[in-house]
């Protein structure tokens, strides 16, 4: 065993509510948009999803020549579409990764008074549920849904409040943020 083990911190930040500025000319993706804790092993995958959705949206914008869907009238509306597709899922992944860390370390509120043996079953069950939705998303279906529903001027899907944000409880369930 190493006599001088290294130690490092894992930093986290609150989710950003906006990923694009300057009329869509500046757009964040990957860790710049949604840095997350490593407990789901999904950060790189989230970045790839961003790239896929942003590439599809910009490709459609360039092919549209300002005609057709209102999503592709400008870079701003194209960036808003990208954000509306990706932001809710990325924020849910951030929150789920936080909850996963608490679960793996048996620091979830309902695990604090339980024995190691009692926590093992909870860890297995929660991990299964937390991982399932991460790996089963159909990005094209999510893109089409948002594209068909329309957006608020702020780049959120219609029907979503500006303060609405995913909060994942220790049992892995998504709930509105407190």
Measure the CA–CA gap between 43 and 102, rounded to whole angstroms. Answer: 17
* Domain-located, residue 4: no
- Whole-model pTM: value is 0.78
Please count the structural domains in the chain: 1
Q: How confident is the model at residue 3 (pLDDT cuts 50, 70, 90)?
A: confident
Q: What distance separates the 2 farthest-apart alpha carbons in the chain?
A: 66
Q: How confident is the model at residue 168 (pLDDT cuts 50, 70, 90)?
A: very low
Burial of 61 (0-12, 13-18, 19+ CB in 10 A): buried
* Domain-located, residue 159: yes
What is the rounded average pLDDT for all residues in the chain? Answer: 84
**pLDDT tops 70 at residue 173:** no
122 in Cβ contact with 102 (< 8 Å): no
Q: What is the pLDDT of residues 66-82, one digit of tens each?
A: 676 777 889 999 999 99
Q: Which domain, by its residues, includes 108?
A: 20-172
- Give me the pLDDT at residue 151, please: 61
* Domain-located, residue 3: no
* Domain-located, residue 1: no
* Domain-located, residue 63: yes
């Amino acid at each position: 065993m190493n006599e001088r083990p290294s130690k490092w911190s894992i930093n986290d930040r609150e989710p950003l509510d906006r990923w694009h500025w300057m009329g869509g000319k500046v757009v964040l993706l990957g860790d710049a948009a949604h840095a997350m804790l490593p407990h789901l092993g999904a950060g790189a995958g989230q970045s790839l999803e961003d790239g896929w959705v942003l590439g599809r949206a910009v490709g459609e914008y360039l092919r549209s020549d300002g005609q057709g869907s209102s999503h592709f009238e400008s870079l701003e509306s194209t960036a808003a579409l990208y954000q509306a597709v990706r932001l809710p899922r990325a924020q849910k992944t951030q929150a789920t990764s936080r909850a996963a860390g608490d679960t793996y370390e048996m620091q979830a509120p309902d695990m604090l008074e339980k024995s190691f043996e009692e926590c093992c079953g909870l860890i297995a069950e929660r991990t299964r549920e937390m991982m399932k939705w991460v790996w089963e998303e159909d990005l094209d279906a999510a893109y089409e849904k948002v594209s068909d529903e329309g957006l608020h001027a702020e780049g959120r899907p219609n029907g979503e409040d500006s303060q609405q944000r995913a909060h994942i409880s220790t049992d892995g369930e998504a709930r509105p943020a407190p």
